Amino acid sequence: MKSFDVPIIYRSPLISAIKKKRKESDKMKKDYSPALLDFGPIQIFLARHFGFCYGVENAIEIAFRTVDENPGKRIFLLSEMIHNPQVNADLEAHGIQFLQDTYGKQLIPFETITKEDIVLIPAFGTTLLIEEKLRQIGIQTENYDTTCPFVEKVWNRSEVIAKENYTIIIHGKPKHEETRATFSHAAKNAPSVIVKDISEAKELAKYITGEKSKNDFYSEFKDQYSEGFDVEKDLVKIGVVNQTTMLASDTQEIANFLKQVMIEKYTSDDPADHFADTRDTLCYATNDNQTAVSGMLETQADLAIVVGGYNSSNTSHLVELCEEKLPTFFINNEGNILSENKILHHNFHTKEDLVTNNFLPEKDPVKILLTSGASCPDALVEGIITKLVSYYPTKNSIEDLILQFQ
């Protein structure tokens, strides 16, 4: 796989050594057990896969290269490049301005942009409406489009089944940038509707079976269906794709459920006549990171720490997985560890920041599971490791661990 020129400030000598060693010893990626960082009184188990993915590294490389190659030019980003506050702050520090916030709220009017300006499309992609607006201004986005290829893969899959007259069911968060972009591209080719979870999928199924009046659909799924959507005609043939950072198990549950609904409704027909085999459209990194967390959770530990942006979908799903097994703290940098007795962490369910006292148990050794989202720099993870071990009389240093993994 292609390697990218990512600023050194995001790299970590320790994490790089660990990832290199694991890759060499497990080229087929079959071992999902965590790497043990044994400091004596504190043991940290690092997930097999975590951190920057292909799409994120590609986006970061393009963004910083664009700054270097265009001194004096105004450079804009449609919205956050990725869901990591440090990276986005670094881009702003390099003079890049954001046109919209993460929810699509306009921060800088499109009317103030000229064809001489540069506009970067973030890794999530964007809607066809915004693409057209930029074209009308005269903005050339081809060299500054950082849309993740795995997001484009979903768009392509949607287009294929649309040509066979299937309606597109998108499993995703309706307000997320990627879901908005995927919905826009899907709706160009076929009737489309977004479901955010299995509960909404079950409600959608009631319109397929006729349990609910079609008129209720338009209020229940307000802002989640394409223009001109016809409940009676457009739910006869369906296929499921997803926002690439959703939980794999959730998407599979939705697809399996809706397929069974179609089989039971059209008993005498071939299931393929009513449900498209789209296969899973999650990106490789989301799959790897989620599987690695499942492997990590087989290790007996006292707590888990998940690092990433609080509006990062893929990171929140890693938190969900960990929360099922043990106390889990969702933080975005080492500064959230206030002391050996106190941690400031985020509850993504309620969107609240909480302080927990005595989060490190009084035992020897303390065992901690550690992972991060696909938009989190490795340097942040090393910073958290350094902060944690500073509270203990360790038998090994960070430098000793680097040598062990080389």
Catalytic residues: 178
Q: Residue 315's CB: how many other CB atoms inside 10 A?
A: 29
Are 368 and 388 within 8 A, CB to CB?
yes
Query: Is residue 96 helix, strand or coil?
Result: coil
Beta bridge partners of 44: 37, 368
Cα 82 to Cα 86, 134, 200, 336, 377: the distances in Å are 10, 20, 27, 21, 11
Q: Provide CB contacts within 8 A for 23, sequence distance 6+.
A: none
From first CA to last CA, the distance across the chain in angstroms is 22
Q: Compute the C-alpha angle 59/61/64, nearest 5°.
A: 105
Q: Provide CB contacts within 8 A for 346, sequence distance 6+.
A: 310, 330, 331, 332, 352, 353, 354
Task: Return d(Cα 240, Cα 265) in angstroms, integer.
Answer: 18
Task: Return d(Cα 78, Cα 121) in angstroms, integer.
Answer: 6
Cα 5 to Cα 8, 81, 134, 284: the distances in Å are 9, 16, 28, 21
In which region does residue 329 sit, left (phi positive, over 0), alpha (psi from -120 to 50) or beta (all else)? beta
Strands of the 352-357 sheet, one edge to the other: 337-339, 342-347, 352-357
H, E, C per residue of 233-266: HHCCCEEEEECCCCCHHHHHHHHHHHHHHHHHHC
Nearest to 154 by CA among 212, 239, 93: 239
CA dihedral for 229, 232, 236, 238, sign (positive or negative)? positive
Separate counts of helices (H) and strands (E) for the chain:
14, 14
